[in-house]
Each structure stands twice: as structure tokens, then as C-alpha cells.
Amino acid sequence: MTNNQLIEIRWHGRGGQGAVTSAELLARAAISEGKYAQAFPSFGAERRGAPVLAFVRISENAPIWTRAEVTEPDVVVVLDPGLLRIVDVTSGLKDGGTFVVNTRKSVEEMSAEFDIKWRLATIDASKIAQELLGVPITNTTMVGALIKATGVVRLESLVEPLRKRFGRLAERNINAMKRAYGETMIKE
């Protein structure tokens, strides 16, 4: 991230998957690094399983005054691969942007199936979450994938926000984030 650059991230998930929590944790990590950040959700029908959007803006050294939804993101993160078939998750994604997807498919398979023209990062976040957390909630795994794909914050900067948010479950979430960081595949 270069000086004065504003990075805008849009998270796509379903109610209960942790997209809103992910956005908040990422913003807290950025602030801990001395950056400016904001995170906020957008809800439609507020029920578990309904599509949910969350937004994050991070600026290296300038306050962020915009409060509108992110319509032209630099990065799109998808927690539920089922959304790829029902929502245009890449709508407005900038040229040269990054697309981070929770999927069992390889970057090559995803590129071919969905004609991906952005930088693509894939991770089987559901598998990691199930193995390490015992539930298919992919928020912390997807944070690890996002950091690997973008470097928008340092991985270590998430440790304290995760500890505060998850308490006794923090170490499992930290391990899930780190494992996802290590296993994320990227195609330029």
C-alpha cells in the first residue's frame, strides 16, 4: 500500500458466517498499525443465511471521510462460494483488483469456470474452519487469505484483535488465520 492510497474492500457472505466481524477485525488491525480505517455492514433481510455485505476502507495516512458503501472495490472477499452463482460479487471490482474466494477449487479451475480477469486468491477456508474451529464459520480463515493476497496489514496485527474478540477461542482462530495465510493460492 503506497502513501495516501485508499484501499476499499467489499466482503460477501451470508448471515452468521462472520463477514461483518472480519471487516471489523481488519479495521482494528489497520488502526493498530497507525493507519486510518473504517468498517461497516450492509444488511438486507437480517436473518441467518441471507446474503450480507461488509465494507472496509484503509488509508495509510489520511482520514477517511467517505461513508458510502463500497461500489468500486480494490478487493472483493467471498466467504460463501455459493454466492458466486446468485450474486454478481465482482460488480465494480477495479481493473487490477484482487478477488479472494473460499473454494475447494484451484485458482486455475476458478479462472476457467468464472472467466476471472483479476488477481485471484483461493483457499478452502471451510475445510480449515471445520478442522480447527469445529464449525464452518470462515471469517478468520478468510482474513488470513486476504492478508496473504494483499498485504494490506501484517498478520501479527490481527492477533490482539482476535484475542479481544474471541477470548478463550482466540488461539484456534489465530491458528486458522495463519493456516489459511500459508495455504492461500494466488494467480496473478
pLDDT in tens, 50-70: 788 999 999 998 999 998 999
Q: Are 70 and 95 in contact (CB under 8 A)?
A: no
Q: Are 7 and 74 in contact (CB under 8 A)?
A: yes
Please write down the HEC assignment for all residues of 138-174: CHHHHHHHHHHHHCCCCHHHHHHHHHHHHHHHHHHHH
Burial of 24 (0-12, 13-18, 19+ CB in 10 A): buried
pLDDT digits (tens, 9 = 90+) for 34-43: 999 999 998 6
pLDDT digits (tens, 9 = 90+) for 85-144: 898 999 999 999 999 999 999 999 998 888 888 999 999 999 999 999 999 899 999 999
- The answer to whether the predicted template modeling score (pTM) of the entire model surpasses 0.95 is no
User: Domain locations in the chain?
Assistant: 6-187
Grid cell, residue 53, equals: 455485505
Architecture per CATH, domain 6-187, reads as 3-Layer(aba) Sandwich (3.40)
Work out the pLDDT band at 17, boundaries 50, 70, 90. Answer: confident
Predicted local confidence at residue 3, as pLDDT: 47
Q: Cell 503506497 belongs to which residue?
A: 2
Beta strands in 15-165 (DSSP E): 36-43, 51-59, 75-78, 98-102, 119-123
Helix count and strand count (H, E) for the chain: 6, 7
Q: Quick one: which H or E segment has residue 44?
A: none
